[in-house]
Chains A and B, each alone.
Chain A
Amino acid sequence: MNDKEQLLSAEQIDFLTEMMNIGAGHAATALTQLLQRSVDLVIPRVFVITDAQELSILDSPSLPVVCARMGMVGEVSGGLFLIVPGEQKEDLIRLAEQAMTDTGQSWRTGITKQESDDLKLSVIAEIGNIVAGVYLTTVHDFCKLNIYHTVPTVATDMVQALLDESLVRLSRQVQHIIVIENEFIVEEKLIKTFLMMIPSVESVDILVNSIGQARMAMVKDEG
């Protein structure tokens, strides 16, 4: 396979974007519940890359980010990463903290700094859970594929450092990364997240065929 070969046609990418737009709607609803604030979303950008260097956040390899890593299991296997750039991570955590205070829960009393840091990371893990969950549900609704994600492992560090092991795996075999770039607006703050889906080499075809079939089914219905 040529590594520059297009995995999905332009029409299929449009369809995927539409699908992910619906997913983003569900994600916004879920985040509204978590944060107890209204969450608006900007239409997500969806793209497929084969060369990880094309990933815009890797422009600055040492950018601090928080990253929730999950595995995909089921009819499509592979890896899932939710990445939130550093500054926005603080905003997200602050919002989650406010939401808990608003609902009469307090998480800061009598805990050590370590516990507090762990709690912050668990907020990001929870957001990773929610975002990955709704997108995979959307994929299921459209493509009839059962895909589940494993429990997230969260780490904060430089973006390239967090991803390089996965990128190295990519460079061994030609793989494809589906990137969903989301922008949520909460209290006038823009929160950008990147969800990277890396289907395993064995499951790429299953995913692509299902996306193709789902699109054809929809075109027929509309036609």
Chain B
Amino acid sequence: MQENIEVMMGGGAVTTAPHIILSSGLGSCVVVTLYDTERKTGGLAHIMLPDSSSLNGDHPAYKCADTAIATLIKELRTMRATPQDMVAKLVGGARMFLSSDDFGPGIGGQNIISIKRILKRRRIPVIAESTGGNYGRNVEFYLDSGRVTVKAIGRETKEI
């Protein structure tokens, strides 16, 4: 039976076909999906921060880009997925309020940059993304095919 697994902000999950992983209310946060195309196994992390070095003490593994991606890969390996067969998709990283007192890429932009750098180092290609802009997104990750749908208020559902 197909199950829906919901991932909250700062959380993550791994599973296999035919299940679905969902995450909603993404603004500046970024969802990364990793999918092993051979084994139809994958994981999703709802990342809040670009890196964990600015945090003191313990923090949930999926909260920061570096620890989240490392944890996803580790969890996926235990399910016999291999990084060589993985592809990544990115969703989110928006800037919700446009105002003159915000300079630079914002946390959303920093998240995207950091995640791409980490994935590049690990040689996992980013094959699709729906990032940036100034609107929130809901994500559904279908493990049967690896497709990701992105929903936003007042916009057509997009498949990436």
Contacts and interface: CB of A to CB of B under 8 A. Distances in A.
Contacts of A69: 97, 99
B153 A157 contact: yes
Contact of B25 (A61, A71, A156, A171): A61
A185 to B, nearest CB: 28
Contacts of B9: 53, 61, 160, 164, 167
B114 interface: no
Main SS class of interface, B: loop
A62 interface: yes
Given A61-B9, A168-B29, A171-B48, A162 B136 contact: yes
A160 B136 contact: yes
Sorting the interface of chain B by its residue count into under 10, 10 to 19, 20 to 34 or 35 or more gives 20 to 34
6 contacts: A159-B25, A164-B9, A164-B96, A165-B108, A169-B107, A171-B48
B101 A71 contact: yes
Given A61-B9, A161-B96, 5 more contacts: A61-B25, A158-B24, A158-B27, A158-B138, A161-B94
B62 to A, nearest CB: 12
Contacts of B1: none
Interface residues of A, number: 24
A166 to B, nearest CB: 9
B49 A157 contact: no
Nearest to A161: B136
